[in-house]
Amino acid sequence: MRNDTPAGALIFDMDGTIVDNMRFHEDAWGKLLTSHGLPFDADDFFQRTAGMAVGEIIAPLFPQATPAEVIALGEAKEVFYRDAYRGHVEALPGLLPLIARAASCGVPMAVASAAPPENIALVLDTLGLRPHFATVISPSQGFRGKPHPDMFIEAARRMAVAPEACLVFEDAPNGIEAARRAGMRAVAMLTMLGADAFAAYDNVIASAADFNALDRLPALRFG
């Protein structure tokens, strides 16, 4: 599909895309890991793990942990995050007008996020966005985290739209790679990284600090 073809469906990552909250996640990860005597480099950690399910991140960091302990560690990290982020939930600039325009044009939308259900609820329900999405997909439903393409492929299936017609919005290389593997075009949201971090991905058709900067993107001219 040509880069200037209007998208037939939109798929949004959540953390760092719908909301600019990744620094809160970083702080929570740092708190968890340093409390267990593990080193933590925020930039490296984001590059390696953003988009992965929390259990996929924790298991190799705590190789002696039982499955129940991995779950408990993950829950502890998410509690740290939610306690800090609650009260700061705000949509990325330009997102709400884009969603309204897509909805008015009958363009289906989905969320595909590695976040657990409680985190998804914190963002989508606080912002009142859930009714706008045809489906919300996460690893809690049995899907692998990014860079695996599973969630994006399932989102397209549930919306009854061909993968190549979907446009993905992502803030992390793992997410962009997942979109590439799914055969989808992507927009890199620069809430954490610069455009150079996504230069190697041939499915990236644009990059932007927020959604206001995408007003003239041909793939979003569906209305």
- Catalytic amino acids? 13
Hey, what are 122's tokens?
């914190």
Cα separation of 67 and 106, whole Å?
Answer: 43
d(CA 221, CA 223): 6
Q: Return the residue matching tokens 């393409």.
A: 149
Determine the number of helices (DSSP H) and then strands (DSSP E) in the chain.
Answer: 8, 6
| Closest of 63, 27, 57, 56 to residue 42, by C-alpha | 27
Find, among 138, 136, 134, 137, the residue nearest to 109 by Cα.
Answer: 134
Give the whole-angstrom CA distance, residue 113 versus residue 146: 9
CA distances from 89 to 24, 121, 170 (A): 11, 11, 18
| Three-state secondary-structure class, residue 89 | coil
